[in-house]
């Protein structure tokens, strides 16, 4: 196996885990955000007490006429889903490597990464620990599945032996090998993020924006997105945190590429093919919904012109959001969660600026070489 094919497989395994993770992030995160929103509507606060029955003034278990009850309940529904996204990431990386026998040790790795359900052996290694643990779990499960064993034991290998031994080995690796270095790295990263402000945060916003647009839903995009979502989870119910700013940066930067290309097709139709013009109409909704993949048809047709343009536009958006200090508690939803953005007007302004920059750069690039009748 060549190094290139190994790299391709590693990327595929990682993306499998991410693809299974995202529905938990989207559903759980938006439910949590709705809980915050209802808490704010009902009590005129910032909604950060949606997790607290007493603060939401809930008298009984089924106080259905109280908006605070629904803020509390919906928040905890969201937390139930959100709590699984790191274990699911690890489990489905392992699944991609070893098929179903990798699931149990993969879930064990993910649960130990976060300390799910108050597990005292939780390592505090977060999503990075889950990724590493998922690869270990999958590798161990695949290794055990290739053992030469007597025929009488082979039927129980995938349902008993591999999950049992795989979980034991993976658990020991998480606790004894990964815990100290990875948790130290995570804690250092958290401290660094909390110390960012002003220009330093703008530089991070620029970098995250470039990453979000580089492959529009691919591995680089997902690294930036997972970084933001994991920070969102660690920030919890804090009144304000740098992690909320990073989530706002990532969502805005991810919305910009499709919106910029949609605007470009509107401003100069002749620069694009008929199919691209149709894709441009759909890109308005995709961009508004935070679906960066809406830019892929354009990038696939003309990568040399489109990809640098959308990267610059998203980088500009990310830097401006950082400078404006916008915060966001929802990990997905686009315009549908804008009510949860602090100072939504400047947030929209940042996205609009990045959208215009993207569109203008694409059109200028299209004009170079007189491509597509530009």
Cα angle: 259, vertex 262, 263; to 5 degrees? 85
C-alpha separations of 329 from 37, 87, 289 in Å: 10, 21, 16
Contact, 93 vs 104, CB < 8 A? no
CA 231 to chain centre: 10
Question: Residue 2's pLDDT is what?
Answer: 47
Whether residue 101 contacts residue 166, with contact meaning beta carbons closer than 8 Å, is answered with yes
The sign of the CA dihedral 146, 150, 151, 152 is negative
Compute the distance between CA of residue 221 and CA of residue 252 in angstroms, rounded to an integer.
Answer: 13
Question: Which residues lie closer than 8 Å to 207 by C-beta, 6 or more apart?
Answer: 315, 318
pLDDT number for residue 95: 97
Domain range summary for the chain, segments of one domain joined by +: 3-191, 198-373
- Which backbone phi and psi does 143 adopt, to 5 degrees? -60, -50
pLDDT tens readout for residues 180-210 = 998 888 777 667 766 666 678 899 999 999 9
User: What's the pLDDT at 1?
Assistant: 42
Closest Cα partner for 74 from 43, 45, 24, 38? 38
In order along its 374 residues, the chain shows pLDDT tens digits of 445 578 788 888 988 888 888 788 778 877 887 887 788 777 765 566 777 777 777 777 777 788 888 888 898 898 888 888 889 989 999 999 999 999 999 999 999 988 887 889 988 887 788 889 999 999 999 999 999 999 999 999 999 999 999 999 999 999 999 999 988 887 776 677 666 666 788 999 999 999 999 887 766 787 788 788 877 777 666 667 788 899 999 999 999 999 999 999 999 988 888 888 888 888 898 888 888 888 888 887 888 889 999 999 999 999 999 999 999 887 777 887 788 888 889 999 999 999 999 999 999 998 876 544 44
């Amino acid at each position: 196996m060549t190094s290139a094919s190994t790299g391709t497989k590693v990327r595929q395994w990682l993306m499998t885990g991410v693809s299974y993770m995202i529905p938990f992030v989207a559903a759980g995160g938006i439910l949590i955000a709705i809980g915050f929103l209802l808490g704010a509507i009902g009590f005129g606060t910032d909604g950060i007490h949606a997790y607290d029955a007493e603060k939401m003034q809930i008298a009984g278990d089924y106080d259905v006429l109280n908006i605070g009850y629904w803020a509390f309940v919906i928040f905890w529904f969201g937390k139930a889903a959100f709590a699984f996204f790191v274990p699911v990431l690890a489990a489905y990386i392992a699944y991609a490597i070893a098929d179903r026998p990798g699931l149990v040790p993969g879930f064990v790795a993910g649960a130990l990464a976060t300390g799910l359900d108050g597990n005292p052996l939780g390592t505090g290694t977060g999503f990075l620990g889950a990724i590493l643990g998922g690869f270990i779990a999958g590798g161990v499960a695949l290794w055990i599945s290739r053992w030469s064993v007597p025929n009488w034991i082979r039927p129980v290998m995938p349902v008993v032996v591999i999950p049992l031994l795989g979980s034991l080995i993976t658990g020991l690796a998480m606790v004894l090998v990964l815990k100290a270095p990875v948790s130290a790295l995570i804690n250092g990263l958290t401290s660094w993020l909390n110390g960012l402000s002003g220009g330093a945060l703008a530089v991070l916003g620029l970098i995250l924006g470039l990453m979000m647009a580089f492959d529009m839903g691919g591995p680089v995009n997902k690294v930036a997105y997972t970084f933001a979502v994991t920070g969102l989870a660690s920030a919890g119910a804090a009144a304000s945190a740098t992690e909320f700013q990073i989530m706002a940066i990532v969502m805005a930067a991810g919305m910009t590429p499709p919106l910029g290309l949609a605007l470009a097709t509107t401003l100069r139709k002749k620069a694009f093919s008929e199919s691209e013009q149709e894709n441009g109409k759909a890109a308005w909704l995709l961009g508004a919904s935070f679906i960066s993949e809406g830019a892929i048809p354009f990038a696939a047709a003309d990568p040399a012109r489109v990809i640098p343009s959308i990267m610059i536009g998203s980088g500009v958006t990310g830097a401006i959001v950082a400078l404006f200090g916008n915060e966001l508690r929802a990990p997905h939803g686009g315009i549908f969660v804008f009510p949860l953005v602090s100072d939504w007007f400047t947030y929209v302004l940042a996205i609009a600026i990045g959208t215009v920059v993207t569109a203008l750069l694409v059109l200028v690039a299209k004009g170079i070489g007189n491509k597509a009748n530009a």
